[in-house]
Structure 1
Amino acid sequence: MALPRHIQFGQNDQGDYWPGFVDALATLLLVIVFLLAVFTAGQFALSTALSGRDEQLAELNARLSTLAQELNLARSENEQLALRVRGLESERDALAATNLALEASMAGLREGLAAARAALEEEEALSEEAQATIALLNNQMAALREELARLNEALNAAEAREAELEAEVVNLGRRLNAALASEVARLARYRSDFLEAMMGVLGDRSGVRVSGDRFVFETDILFASGSAELSEDGRAALTPIADAILQLIGELPSDLDWVLRVDGHTDRVPLGPSAPFRSNWELSTARALSVIEYLESRGVPSRRLLAAGFGEHHPIAQGRTAEAYARNRRIELKLDAR
């Protein structure tokens, strides 16, 4: 059986390794001494360096303290200077405001001075102009006095002429009234002849009558209810009227200015929504026009005809009975002056 290797080595090398071990230990000791020497030298150098650093740090701290004090002094001086600057700025602003006020005051004084100069110049100019104006007014007053005297003479002449004209007007009025009275008397005579002729033509026909100076037709014999178109019976009733008017025209003097007035009247009953006319005004006027158109068609001259519509506003019968309504629905013929 083989022995372990280290046992074999010990057995073979007994007494031979100790000098090497001593050499190695001596070498290690030298190295340790060297390292201690190096460490000691380094420690000394580090102590020396640290001592120098402490002195430098103390110097730096002293300088930093000095600089801090100087900085505080500088800040204090800066604050004082800032306060001084603000005070100076306030004084500058106050001086600027005062300067502006003074400039405005100076401008006002300049304007006042300029206005005073202008007013003085204007007064001087007005003084000269006033003198010229006074002279002109004196001349105008003289001219006005002359014109007033001339107007007084003209007024006196006009008053005299007015008195003459008033006398002429009075005379003409009397003559005109006399002529009108004569014309009215002539027209009244021919109106009586007209009514007499109409009564002779129509006789006792129902629905036709004389009322004062006019001839009255009840429209129920001329028109259908709510209509303005002449019925056949209405045309037949108006035919002898037209012939009588034509006969009367030949008998009337040519210098008598007359017209046959045809008046339309209705009752007070309102028209229904389906009626062709909006009101009784329109219905009465349309019926009067229908009579005139028929008389024209029979030969009566148009210039001798006049149409008028009165609606329900001139009733001849009061009350709300059918008889009263029938009497109020009428056509009136009247010979009248134009």
Structure 2
Amino acid sequence: MAGTRLRRRDARTDYWPGFVDAMAALLLVIIFLLTIFVLAQFFLGQQLSGRDTVLNRLNAQISELTELLALERAGTRDLQDTIATLTANLGDAEAERERLAGLLAASSSRASETSGALAALESSLDDERRISQRALSQVELLNQQIAALRRQIGALEDALDASENRDRESQAKIADLGRRLNVALAQRVQELSRYRSDFFGRLREILSQRSDIRVVGDRFVFQSEVLFSSGADTINPEGEAELDKLAEAIKELAVQIPAEINWVLRVDGHTDAQPLSGTGRFRNNWELSAARAISVVRYLISQGVDPERLVAAGFGEYQPLESGDDPQALARNRRIELKLTER
């Protein structure tokens, strides 16, 4: 019996600690929830406070807009009242005008009977006189303005006449300068022609009377065989001897021609129409003619001729002296031409 009571007491004593722990845990949960609730209330209060501030500001703006709208409506009503008043006044004025027009018509019909109508007519006449006077004043002002415009037009016409006179004088001066320039150019051409004739005469003297060196028009012509071998651009010894004489003549000419004449000696290379073989240095007659002209210019420069007075050009077979393909025509077309001309 005693053992049974002891076991029951021990069983009751075992429940209490668990109960205490459960209550403590429940208390902690409640405290945690209360804390979260307080924080949520705090943040919600902050948000509500901010929204109240924004709402108050919006209410204030709505109040200002409401006042402005009320003022605008009041102004609109005033304008409407003013328009109504003006409309009424206009109606009264038109009615008065019609009444006065009726009275004027009646007075006109009784002008010979009433002195009042005569006074009205005299008043109208005075008004017409005043209107006429104003019109005359305006006409006088317009006449003055027209006179001023005429003076300005006259001044412009005088200036235009003076400008035309100056233009005619300028045109005359330009024409005179053109005539002088043409005369000067003609004199230059004549001087250059004279020096060309002297130069060619000197060349005839120093280069003898060879049949393969001749004058054709305003050009001095070397047959290519005098200077070059067939298909080559290297000057042979015989050609160097002839070009030495030519260089001396050019240097003598350079001393004689005045410095104001800007002359050059153009060296033109020409070939016949026979195509070149594919084994040589040159692909076509263009290259051969240009290379020969350049070789002559280089040799003259090496003999002391001023390079500024020399020009090289190649024409290939496209400017023949003679047509045909016989040996004599082909030989005459293979040539080096010298032409004295202005730059």
Q: Could you say which TM-score interval applies, normalised by the shorter chain?
A: 0.5 to 0.7
Matched, 1:328 2:333: yes
Q: What is aligned with 2:229?
A: 224
| C-alpha separation in 2, matches of 1:294 and 1:156 | 65
Match of 1:248, SS?
Answer: helix
Q: What is aligned with 1:287?
A: 292
| Offset, 1:155 | 8.3
Q: What is aligned with 1:237?
A: 242
Q: Aligned match of 2:267 in 224, 242, 262?
A: 262
Residues 161-196 of structure 1: per-residue CA shift (max 9 Å, x gap): 544432222111101110011011111111110000
Matched, 1:178 2:183: yes
| C-alpha separation in 1, matches of 2:250 and 2:201 | 12
| C-alpha separation in 1, matches of 2:160 and 2:307 | 50
**Which residue identity does 2:179 align to in structure 1?**
R
Match of 1:263, SS?
Answer: strand
Residues 226-263 of structure 1: per-residue CA shift (max 9 Å, x gap): 11121122111211111111122222222222111111
Evaluate the alpha carbon distance shift between residue 162 and residue 268 of structure 1 in structure 2; reply closer, same or farther with a 3 A threshold: farther
Q: What is aligned with 2:321?
A: 316
Evaluate the alpha carbon distance shift between residue 152 and residue 211 of structure 1 in structure 2; reply closer, same or farther with a 3 A threshold: same
Evaluate the alpha carbon distance shift between residue 154 and residue 269 of structure 1 in structure 2; reply closer, same or farther with a 3 A threshold: farther
Q: What is aligned with 1:168?
A: 173
Q: Over alpha carbons, which structure has the higher Rg?
A: 1
| C-alpha separation in 1, matches of 2:277 and 2:160 | 67
Q: What is aligned with 1:199?
A: 204
Residues 253-289 of structure 1: per-residue CA shift (max 9 Å, x gap): 2222211111111111122222312221221111111
| Offset, 1:160 | 5.5
TM-score scaled to structure 2, two decimals? 0.51
Match of 2:176, SS?
Answer: helix
| C-alpha separation in 1, matches of 2:317 and 2:171 | 45
Evaluate the alpha carbon distance shift between residue 334 and residue 160 of structure 1 in structure 2; reply closer, same or farther with a 3 A threshold: same
* 309-318 or 186-195: bigger deviation: 309-318
Evaluate the alpha carbon distance shift between residue 156 and residue 277 of structure 1 in structure 2; reply closer, same or farther with a 3 A threshold: farther
Q: What is aligned with 1:271?
A: 276
**Which residue identity does 2:188 align to in structure 1?**
E
Aligned ranges for residues 1-338 of structure 1 at < 5 Å?
A: 161-338=166-343
Evaluate the alpha carbon distance shift between residue 205 and residue 158 of structure 1 in structure 2; reply closer, same or farther with a 3 A threshold: same
* 154-163 or 301-310: bigger deviation: 154-163
Residues 281-313 of structure 1: per-residue CA shift (max 9 Å, x gap): 221111111100000000000111111111111
| C-alpha separation in 2, matches of 1:199 and 1:274 | 38
Q: What is aligned with 2:133?
A: none
| Offset, 1:218 | 0.3
Structure 1 residue ranges, 4+ long, deviating more than 6 angstroms after superposition: 151-158
Unmatched 5+ residue regions in structure 2?
Answer: 1-152
**Which residue identity does 2:231 align to in structure 1?**
G
Match of 2:317, SS?
Answer: coil
| C-alpha separation in 2, matches of 1:169 and 1:311 | 44
| C-alpha separation in 1, matches of 2:318 and 2:170 | 44
| C-alpha separation in 2, matches of 1:163 and 1:326 | 60
Unmatched 5+ residue regions in structure 1?
Answer: 1-148
| C-alpha separation in 1, matches of 2:259 and 2:269 | 28
Give % identity. Answer: 52
CA RMSD of aligned residues (A): 2.3
**Which residue identity does 2:252 align to in structure 1?**
Q
Residues 44-68 of structure 1: per-residue CA shift (max 9 Å, x gap): xxxxxxxxxxxxxxxxxxxxxxxxx
